[in-house]
Structure 1
Amino acid sequence: MEAEFQSYIILFLVSIVLVRTILTKIQNKPRPPPSPMALPVIGHLHLLALIPHQAFHKLSSRYGSLIHIFLGSVPCLVASSPDMAKEFLKTHEGSFSSRPSMAVVDYLAYGSSDFVFAPYGPYWKFMKKLCVSELLGGRTLDQLLPVRHEELTSFVQLIRKKAKAAEAFDVGAALITITNNIITRMTMGQSWSKNERDADVVRKVVKNLDLQGFGKRVKELRDTFDTMMERVIEEHQETRKKRKELGEGCDAVKDLLDILLDISEDETSEFRLSRINIKAFIMNIFAAGTDTSAITTEWALAELINHPEVMKKAIQEIDSIVGKNRLVQESDIANLPYLQAIVKETPAAPLIVRESTEACSIGGYEIPAKTRLFVNVWAINRDPNHWEKPLEFEPERFVTEDGSGKSQLDVRGQHFHLLPFGSGRRGCPGTSLALQVVQTTLAAIIQCFEWKVEGGSNNVDVGT
């Protein structure tokens, strides 16, 4: 009996040790953020519906400002508060400095030989510095100001012509045309509103950068774009050769393609840009600079039509600064703080997307490498902890009462409850250009025309 009793005691002690060991391992196991119930194979895809950022917001309202989901087998995080956005985009920016790789984007961007989707590293740093200092820097934007003003003037004249003839006019399509013309003239010195074939290629490239699929159509599109770009590059090189023979070129205004070709020919450059790098970067410019600016301007105009008291204040500000005898110009925007407030109040791109390059710990949660991050800007803009009456269109929230009228809240990523252009290293390098195009175009169309809704509805449907 004594031997049997001793065996029970030993078994009991061993059990205690095993239980403690198991509990310790469980406690030390990396803890992921809260997560809804997932389904086999598809993960949480069934919860996203047709509008992902709204679905993310609904999930975050239930599970918290940081949640963990799977899109199929891809691990993802959704950050839905300014504090969480700051954690990822500033405090732990080094761990989330890359963008996720997608097959269609990688193919269209020549194997990520571009800038926007290139992995974080020496080449990306070189291109970022190049964008800030030369390609999209202040000096280049100033030199190409006449291009933007000419296109804006032509745009206003087109609307006036349609109005006088009482013809139907698609404002959204026209805004896309003007932004396309501005971008293509600044990039390659030619307007594509007069070349429907090339314009159609650009539209298809921009559209397909948002697709997940990959097939024959994408390959044909990349081939068509490549043929077009080869022709444009050859034309530029021929023009550059003639200028050089004539001793010209030093004082000539250069478009972005000329600047890229200069760098590709510079033997002292830190990186010698290849032809593929150039074509991929031009694709980035099209994708980032066309539809986004047009949609923002159209949305702002719709909100102004729906809020006539705001429209009236904006027109009064323009009349007091610019007058009625000339068209508003980019140089006037600095003196139009209420117009700037309207653009700030206009909804931005709903999601910022990143991917972790290394494991890290955030908010007590362990985040493995290769985790996709969605910062839900749409939800952050509706956060009642940072915005009073967040669902209402109120530009006044960006207007100070110190006499200047200029809000200290800027849009360049320093305030994490206002992130229309992202933040940090991967923030949009074209912010200055985008603001100039959107603000000046919006100012011109409300300065020159009276906008109102006719028919059964009193408002423009801007959705949610």
Structure 2
Amino acid sequence: MNLQADFALTVAAVILTFIILWSIRKLVKPSKQRPFLPPGPLGLPIVGYLPFLRKDLHHQFTELAGKYGPIYKLWIGNKLCTVISSPSLIKEVVRDHDKIFANRDITVAARVGSYGFNDIAWSPYGSQWRNLRKLFVREMLSNTNLAASYNLRKDEVRKAVQEIYSNSGTPIDICELALKIDLNVIINLIWGGKIQGMRRDRILADLLPVIAEMLDLLLKPNISDYFPVLARFDIQGVEKKMTTLVQRVDVITEDTINERMKNASEKSEAETTKKDGRTDFLQILVDLMSINEKHR
């Protein structure tokens, strides 16, 4: 049974219960003035427009934009979604009013995978996100680090091209290959050149399937995201699966992190800086932690 069919059956299983609860809520709760919202297609009670979504969402959204205009709304479960398709409106959202629309959609998989929205990708806009961004831009995206990692990125792309060429005539999973390139680059940027040879290959081999599963869960439709009242039941097991994957990542990376923290006090700054002038990101975080502990 494919993912769409499984998700549809799960939704159908709770529709009757929600229709009853929704009807009772409407009868008991006094009506309020509705906020001014853009037009959009009508949906069903409780589930909204969810049952009518097709696989070719980009085509369907284009058709709806032709009917309702460059901005329209969709109710998916109890979530109100606004779709924009005009370049001028997109400019308003992503540039002119970026702070208003900066936060990402909250999902169960993202909450667990980001340790409670504590990373730069999922952290809500605020002082914590600004500090994370400042650290990331200053250390990871500085001219020195970008120039120092140029040869690394070039070598990884060259290896990928050679792998494709050597396997000509046989099917190749480009997504898996791209993920492998990204992980290789990220491991080098985070841990530097201190992990090499068989140890590096083992870590990469362990991380690759775990990260692939985590990405799959992040993209997987989850009924708990559209009906938060059901989140406690974890009907599709997304929260449980993501928790297990996060624990596996912790196990894979724990030894390297503990080893670096143990040796941090024994090495000088010059020893933790690579010959190319770049300090790996893990060392930067360890140094910051040491500074914070000294000022407590």
Normalised TM-score (structure 2): 0.70
* Structure 2: runs of 5+ lacking an equivalent: 1-32, 223-235
State how 1:141-156 maps to structure 2 within 5 Å: 141-156=146-161
Q: How many residues align?
A: 240
1:235 to 225, 236, 259: 259
How many angstroms apart in 1 are the aligned matches of 2:60 and 2:142? Answer: 37
2:88 is the alignment partner of 1:79: no
Is 1:203 matched up with 2:226?
A: no
Inter-partner Cα distance in structure 1 for 2:161 and 2:202: 17
Match of 2:280 in 1: 255
Residue deviations 1:336-360 (CA, integer Å, cap 9, x gap): xxxxxxxxxxxxxxxxxxxxxxxxx
Moved more, 59-68 or 217-226: 217-226
Quote the residue 1:244 is aligned against.
268
Which residue number in structure 2 is paired with residue 183 of structure 1?
186
Offset, 1:193: 4.8
Deviations 1:385-409 (A, max 9, x none): xxxxxxxxxxxxxxxxxxxxxxxxx
CA distance in 1, matches of 2:190, 2:143: 15
Whether the aligned pair in 1 keeps the contact of 2:190 and 2:282 (CA below 8 Å) is yes
Q: CA 1:47 to 1:221, structure 2 compared with 1: closer, same or farther past 3 Å?
A: same
Contact 2:38 2:72 in 1 (8 A): yes
Instruction: Classify 1:65/1:71 alpha carbon distance in 2 versus 1 (closer, same or farther; 3 Å).
Output: same
Question: Which ranges in structure 1 are unaligned for 5 or more consecutive residues?
Answer: 1-27, 273-464
Structure 1's 193 and 174: CA in aligned 2 closer, same or farther, altered over 3 A? farther
Q: State the AA in 2 paired with 1:95.
A: I
Give the partner amino acid of 1:248.
E
Partner of residue 170, structure 1? 172
Structure 2 distance, partners of 1:201, 1:240, is 29
Cα distance, 1:36 vs structure 2 = 1.0
Of 222, 233, 244, 2:246 maps to 222
> Structure 2: which amino acid aligns with 1:39?
L
Mapped to 2, the partners of 1:130 and 1:265 lie a distance apart of 16
Whole-Å Cα distance in 1 between the matches of residues 68 and 239 of structure 2? Answer: 37
CA distance in 1, matches of 2:271, 2:47: 61
Change in Cα spacing, 1:250 to 1:218, as seen in structure 2 (3 Å) is closer
Normalising by structure 1, report the TM-score.
0.47
Q: Secondary structure at the match of 2:100?
A: helix
Counterpart of 2:209 in structure 1: which amino acid?
D
Please say if 1:95 is aligned against 2:100: yes
Q: CA deviation at 1:109?
A: 0.7
Give the partner amino acid of 2:284: I
Give the deviation of 1:136 after TM superposition: 2.3
- Kindly indicate whether structure 1 or structure 2 has the higher relative contact order, using CA contacts under 8 Å at least 6 residues apart: 1
In 1: Cα distance, 2:294 partner to 2:213 partner? 33
Counterpart for residue 12 of structure 2: none
Q: 1:53 to 1:187 in 2, by over 3 A?
A: farther
% identity of equivalent residues: 26
Task: Give the aligned partner of residue 33 of structure 1.
Answer: 38
1:188-238 CA-to-partner distances (Å, cap 9, x unmatched) read 334755542232222222222223353432221121112223223113324
C-alpha separation between the residues in 1 aligned to 2:51 and 2:171? 39
1:129 corresponds to which of 127, 134, 140: 134
| Aligned-residue offset at 1:57 | 2.0
SS state of the match for residue 184, structure 1? helix
Question: Structure 1 43/160 Cα, relative in aligned 2: closer, same or farther at 3 Å?
Answer: closer
Provide the alpha-carbon RMSD of the alignment.
Answer: 3.0
Which protein has the bigger helix share? 2
The 5 Å alignment of 1:42-441 reads 42-162=47-167, 168=170, 170=172, 172=174, 173-189=176-192, 190=195, 193-195=201-203, 196-211=205-220, 212=222, 214-244=238-268, 248-250=271-273, 252=275, 253-267=278-292
Contact 1:47 1:55 in 2 (8 A): no
Q: Whole-Å Cα distance in 1 between the matches of residues 179 and 97 of structure 2?
A: 36
Q: Could you tell me how far apart the structure 1 residues matched to 2:173 and 2:112 are?
A: 33
The 2-side partners of 1:225 and 1:194 are apart by: 13
Query: Per the alignment, do residues 66 and 148 of structure 1 end up closer, same or farther by CA in structure 2, a change over 3 Å counting?
Result: same
Q: Residue 153 of structure 1: CA displacement?
A: 3.6
Q: Tell me by how many angstroms 1:41 deviates.
A: 0.8
Deviations 1:428-458 (A, max 9, x none): xxxxxxxxxxxxxxxxxxxxxxxxxxxxxxx
Identify if the C-alpha distance between structure 1 residues 100 and 176 changes in structure 2 by more than 3 Å, giving closer, same or farther: closer
**CA shift for structure 1 position 84:** 1.3
The 2-side partners of 1:199 and 1:30 are apart by 46
Displacement of 1:123: 0.7
